[in-house]
Chains A and B, each alone.
Chain A
Amino acid sequence: MSFAKITVSALAIAAAATAANARDNVQMAGSSTVLPYATIVAEAFGENFSFPTPVVEGGGSGAGRKKLCEGVGANTIDIANSSSRISKSDVETCAKNGVTEIIEVRFGYDGIVFASDIKGAEFAFTAADWYAALGANVAKDGKIVPNANKTWADVNAKLPAQDILAFIPGTKHGTREVFDIKVLEAGCKATGAYDLFVAASTGADEKAKKADAGKQCLALRTDGVSVDIDGDYTETLARIDAAKNAIGVFGLSFYQNNTDKLRVATMEGVVPTTEAIAKGDYPVSRPLFFYVKKAHIGVIPGLKEYVTFFVSDDMAGPNGPLAAYGLVADPELAATQAMVEAETPMAPLK
């Protein structure tokens, strides 16, 4: 019976697989913003060290952290890449599954830029402009009114009279979080809408009122002027290609690789460059992290070496390949290097 033979041998392979649990390569997953940086480091690591090249998965910051917190052992990942800081609930899930010690590594900063088609008009935005353009309710003459702005000139007379159309990252992206806080909330406060929201709120106490106002600040108009993009920046770029009068939100590194198609706008008068972000002049930036499962150091070969190599000046330094790709080097990289060397786990989150 050849069928029986094949079936038995197939089952044998599966059984053998269950027994083989050791893993000799580093595995990581997470943010698609960190993904290109991680692949650049992984590639250089594989070339220059005797360890195999680490396997890098995308999937999003949240998904990566969730995978990290699944437990300890060779069938769980070693590193979670993240474009936003780990949350308290993630740390709690981790602890519940036995992942008690996590090393937090901040390796640099990423800028978020606003760009439009290269042939379009030039824009100089402020956070207030963005809130006035996209917020569901805006402040007008000291009152909260539904947003009726049609063109950018309605928002701010200095801007071109071009119809408002914005492609912003969808809510599953880490980038959206930064956009919400650094642009919408900041703009909401700058236009005075925040104070009006607080005054109008029916919350029980001051704290509830503020929380309520904060939520209202993030409400976007739903008349098709603000479009959530759930895909990658490549999708945003394709959409801008189709709708030339749209403004898109991109990562700095993506923009730098597509400067021949996109025209970048200034924010609060600052042109987004790695230098401006490093100096803290450009307002819309965020730190990039990866989280290392300490229990795997010494168990998974090459893990410590990979992390050390990642934060070395050769890689994450201002003249390294990551900076060439668009990473804003962390001015406190030396402290990070020392922390990685000492394998200090992160302190409990407040």
Chain B
Amino acid sequence: MTDISPTPAAMPRTHGLSGSLLTESPLMKSRNAAEARFRSYGIAAIVVALLTLAIMLFTILRDGTSAFFQATLSYPVLIDGAIVDKGGKADPAEMAKVTTISYARLLGDSLIKHLADKGIAVEGMTPKEVTDMISKDAPARLRDQVLADPSLVGKTINVNAFVGGRIDGYMKGRLTRESSANDSNVTPRQLDMADKMIEAGILRSKFNWSFVTAPDASDLRPEAAGLGVALIGTLYMMFLVLIFTLPIGVAASIYLEEFAPKNWFTDLIEVNISNLAAVPSIVFGILGLAIFINFAGLPASAPLVGALVITLMTLPTIIIATRASIRAVPPSIRDAALGVGASKMQTVFHHVLPLAMPGILTGTILGLASAIGETGPLLLIGMVAFVTNYPAGPLDGGFLDPASALPVQVYSWASRSDPAFIERSSGAIIVLLILLVIMNVSAILLRRRFERRW
């Protein structure tokens, strides 16, 4: 609080006798300088923050964008009935006995034949070196395709198969000829062949949707690994967290703000809610493991358990945000409602809650946005796992099927040994950031659209 001196003359005049406002007294000078310094500190702080953000975004984008593109071989393959359907009955159950090993041979032989037809050859290259260039994932995809449509047997189809991770790395510049000389997983002849294939149009780098949709893959086939399962797991979890936190959080806040008596007990609850918001997330993971998995017997790795744990973690944040927005509704609204004869509950549900809703939604979305990147608690409930089966639909018990989550996928890819997983890890961060931006933008839009000022 500033006290205004009753008379200007009462102000001590220690400097400058003239007292003109136009000439700077030494005191004035030092005050102005202090202000200028403070401003520059502020600007410096912002510059540092922005610079850090820019460096982070730059490195992530530099390392990660290449994950969305994948080198693909396309060439014709004759689906030979003698290999994939020995019985000749076109019976999928019978054909399922043929393993991916046979399909790998089919793909490899077709590639060798196609190269011979086109007259592409590299001196001294063995057939195995050629077939090793095809991703280990391709046979499985072809097998699924043929089993889904047995009428393909006997036909020649054009197959799009990923090329192995090393060749892809060569096309992306991750692997150079010099480094390949020391690399036991690729030979210089394979790189020569890749160059010739690119020239002939067999090998092309394409936008790779399957990075977003395909499930995770093992270390032998980094080129095929995708975020599908993790993305579904994260969406399931966020949906459940929303369903769990919103009613509980809003109910608790309304009660505490509008109905609860102010006494030592509600004070205690208030302090505890603030404390809970600051508890490290891993603690909730330990709690979740003990309660939901060991005691309640829920399955490990399930999005439901992940959602329950994250709910516990986000609830305090959401309660705090909700209470703040309920408190921001001016008392005059309540008084007016009560004045015209509304009951306490009618006041809350007809007037206070609708006015507080934009704030509540914003708080909830921001709470979810911070929860979406949470890895710690998921570590303990088995969601940091290799899962390649998509969880079922939400109505078919998909919430209980094993799934992964986006931040977990980042973590698990970052620790894999094949260098190709590094770009995928950064690519996963990009997808996670996009989700975050969508959530934050929608929070801002909601606030802009519905917020009322008094």
Contacts and interface: CB of A to CB of B under 8 A. Distances in A.
Please determine whether chains A and B interact with each other in the same assembly: yes
A324 B417 contact: no
B49 interface: no
Interface stretch (B16-24, B148-156, B246-254): B246-254
Interface stretch (A36-44, A161-169, A333-341): A36-44
B96 A50 contact: yes
Interface stretch (B30-38, B174-182, B262-270, B328-336): B174-182
B182 A232 contact: no
Given A6-B243, A47-B143, A256-B185, A39 B301 contact: no
Interface string B223-243: 000000000000000001001
A109 B251 CA distance: 58
Nearest to A48: B99
Given A70-B294, A234-B416, A258-B419, A17 B304 contact: yes
Given A18-B297, A18-B298, A46 B100 contact: no
A35 interface: yes
Nearest to B143: A47
Contacts of B399: 13, 17
B140 A47 contact: yes
Interface stretch (B59-67, B105-113, B274-282, B384-392): B384-392
A231 interface: yes
B68 interface: no
B400 interface: yes
A235 to B, nearest CB: 8
B184 to A, nearest CB: 5
B247 A75 contact: no
A21 B293 CA distance: 11
Assign chain A's interface to a size class: 35 or more
Contacts of B182: 118, 259-260
A151 interface: no
A50 B147 CA distance: 12
A257 B244 contact: no
Most A CB contacts (10 A, CB to CB) among B217, B297, B386 go to: B386
Interface in A1-48: 3-4, 6-7, 10, 13-14, 17-18, 20-21, 23, 25, 27, 29, 32, 35-36, 38-40, 42-44, 46-48
Interface string B383-406: 011111100000001011010000
A204 to B, nearest CB: 42
B431 interface: no
Contacts of A324: 220
A3 B99 contact: no
A36 B382 contact: no
Interface in A134-172: none
B243 A36 contact: no
A232 B219 contact: no
Contacts of B387: 53, 55
A233 interface: yes
A17 B100 contact: no
Main secondary structure of the interface of B (DSSP, over half): loop
A254 B417 contact: yes
Interface string B365-396: 00000000000000100101111110000000
B248 A7 contact: yes
B415 interface: yes
A32 B248 contact: no
B409 to A, nearest CB: 13
B311 to A, nearest CB: 10
A145 B414 CA distance: 42
Contacts of A305: none
Contacts of A52: 389
Interface residues of B, number: 57
Given A57-B384, A57-B386, A257-B417, A3 B250 contact: yes
B297 A75 contact: yes
Contacts of B416: 36, 234
Nearest to B305: A17
Contacts of B240: 10
Interface string A216-260: 000000000000000111100000000000000001011011111
Given A17-B298, A47-B143, A56 B386 contact: yes
A181 interface: no
B218 interface: yes
Nearest to B413: A234
Nearest to B183: A260
A314 B136 CA distance: 15
A316 B417 CA distance: 19
Contacts of B384: 57-59
Contacts of A257: 185, 219, 417-419
B389 A40 contact: no
26 contacts: A6-B247, A10-B243, A13-B304, A17-B302, A17-B399, A18-B298, A20-B400, A23-B299, A27-B300, A27-B301, A42-B386, A57-B301, A57-B382, A58-B385, A70-B294, A75-B293, A75-B294, A75-B298, A75-B300, A234-B414, A253-B417, A256-B185, A259-B182, A259-B184, A259-B185, A260-B175
Interface of A: 3-4, 6-7, 10, 13-14, 17-18, 20-21, 23, 25, 27, 29, 32, 35-36, 38-40, 42-44, 46-48, 50, 52-53, 55-59, 70, 73-75, 77, 118, 231-234, 251, 253-254, 256-261, 314, 321, 324-325
User: 6 shortest A-B CB distances, which residue pairs?
Assistant: A260-B179, A56-B386, A232-B415, A39-B218, A57-B385, A36-B219
Given A3-B247, A21-B299, A59-B384, 6 more contacts: A17-B299, A18-B298, A42-B386, A57-B382, A256-B185, A257-B219
